[in-house]
Amino acid sequence: MKALQERLYKHTSATPSKWKEKALARRENKEWLRYSQHIAMLMLDKMEELGLAQKAVAERMGCSQQYISRVLKGTENLSIETIFKIESALDLQILEPAFADF
């Protein structure tokens, strides 16, 4: 048993895991995460409809493909500016109904 424990400790990461902090953050931000995931789903549906890959959306928005990947995971805290860029790049209405009178 001791030999098994020693072998396991050899493969243990030197940096502590942050799974607990991430789980607590998800619980505290449950409503926001649902909204972010809703936007991600709208984006994915529109991207499929238009036949666009993440890279093409990134080019249209002027950002990196890695950022689009994070947005599509539904965990990114999006600014109003970013939501506007998503709307413009994919011809979506996310916030537009809220600002229809402007």
In sequence order, the 6+-apart residues with CB closer than 8 A to the CB of 78 are 36, 39, 71, 86
What's the predicted TM-score (pTM) here? 0.72
Q: Write down the pLDDT at residue 7.
A: 86
- The encoded tokens of residue 101 equal 């009178």
Are the C-beta atoms of residues 54 and 69 closer than 8 Å to each other? yes
Output phi, psi for 2, to 5 deg. -65, -40
Query: Which pLDDT value is given to residue 95?
Result: 83
pLDDT the model gives residue 98: 62
What is the reported pLDDT for 28?
87
- Per residue of the chain (102 residues), what is the pLDDT tens digit? 788 888 888 888 788 888 888 888 888 888 888 889 999 999 999 999 999 999 999 999 999 999 999 999 988 889 999 999 999 999 999 986 666 665
Every domain of the chain and the residues it spans = 20-99
* pLDDT of the residue at 101: 61
Class of domain 20-99: mainly alpha
